[in-house]
Amino acid sequence: DAGITQSPRYKITETGRQVTLMCHQTWSHSYMFWYRQDLGHGLRLIYYSAAADITDKGEVPDGYVVSRSKTENFPLTLESATRSQTSVYFCASSELGQGGTDTQYFGPGTRLTVL
């Protein structure tokens, strides 16, 4: 199926554990993003990637690690989960700056609970 998918959709983990959230897009968009959504804070950018092997920090990168070895995948890893990382995580992709269309396409989200 074309589009952007995230897995798992729901995850419960414990403090201190490592957890990886997966994101896959089929459009071959250059840009990919990770956001977290928390009540009262809206969407906050964690990391983004302009192309394979190019990543950069967003507004709230601490405690997260990303990689992008292939254009279509952009996994987000919490190396040692903390309760403050309980949130809903959204992956997005875009072809920013191409033909004037800067639309971001969001995945369905992963609800992560850290106990």
Partner 1 sequence: QQQVKQSPQSLIVQKGGISIINCAYENTAFDYFPWYQQFPGKGPALLIAIRPDVSEKKEGRFTISFNKSAKQFSLHIMDSQPGDSATYFCAASTSGGSYIPTFGRGTSLIVHP
- Which residues lie near partner 1 (CB under 8 A)? 31, 40-43, 45, 48, 58, 90, 92, 94, 96-97, 100, 102-109
β-strand partners of 24: 5, 73
Q: Give the nearer residue to partner 1 in terms of CB position, either 1 or 42.
A: 42
Q: Give the nearer residue to partner 1 in terms of CB position, either 58 or 75.
A: 58
Q: How far is the CB of 40 from partner 1 (least distance, A)?
A: 7
Q: How far is the CB of 57 from partner 1 (least distance, A)?
A: 11
Q: Give the nearer residue to partner 1 in terms of CB position, either 16 or 108.
A: 108
Q: How far is the CB of 47 from partner 1 (least distance, A)?
A: 11
Question: DSSP states of the chain as a string?
Answer: --SEEEE-SEEEE-TT--EEEEEEESS--SEEEEEEEETTTEEEEEEEEEETTEEEE-S--TTEEE--SSTTB--EEESS--GGG-EEEEEEEE-TTBTTB---EE---EEEEE-
Q: Give the nearer residue to partner 1 in terms of CB position, either 9 or 79.
A: 9
Half-sphere exposure of 22 (CA within 13 A, CB side): 7
Q: How far is the CB of 15 from partner 1 (least distance, A)?
A: 26
